[in-house]
């Protein structure tokens, strides 16, 4: 089965995504692991030597990671998870990620 951008599982023989409530335990674990990975990547402290060199103009490594998350659509997914009533179980993970996104701003 494939997934649409919001993570709903699609049956290859059907054009209708499965309901969020019908997620399997492995889907829930996968979502949690992805959120933890994003949180951990954003939590990595900056390297002072690389930040002083200005590798990509004024963009720090943190800013480039944020830009990559934006380009991939992860920021839209985080906004969805933060605002969807049925996705309250991810609220703390999303809060941590958003907090880390605004680190050093």
**Per-residue pLDDT reduced to its tens digit, 32-73:** 999 999 999 999 888 777 656 555 567 788 899 999 999 999
More confident residue, 104 or 66: 66
Q: In which band, very low, low, confident or very high, does the pLDDT at 77 lie, cut at 50, 70 and 90?
A: very high
On whether the pTM is more than 0.95, the answer is no
Q: How far apart are CA 41 and CA 72, in angstroms?
A: 15
Q: Which residue has the tokens 């949690």?
A: 32
CA distances from 102 to 23, 27, 42, 43, 67 (A): 31, 28, 10, 11, 13
Q: What angle do CA 33, 39, 105 make, to 5 degrees?
A: 165
Q: What angle do CA 90, 15, 3 make, to 5 degrees?
A: 35
């Amino acid at each position: 089965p494939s997934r649409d951008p919001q993570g709903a599982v699609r049956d290859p023989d059907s054009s209708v995504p499965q309901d969020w409530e019908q997620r399997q335990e492995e889907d829930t674990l996968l979502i949690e692991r992805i959120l933890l990975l994003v949180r951990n990547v954003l939590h990595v402290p900056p390297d002072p030597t690389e930040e002083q060199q200005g590798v990509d103009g004024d963009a720090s490594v943190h800013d480039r990671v944020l830009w990559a998350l934006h380009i991939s659509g992860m920021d839209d997914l985080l906004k969805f998870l933060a605002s969807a009533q049925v996705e309250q179980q991810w609220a703390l993970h999303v809060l941590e990620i958003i907090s880390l996104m605004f680190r050093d701003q």
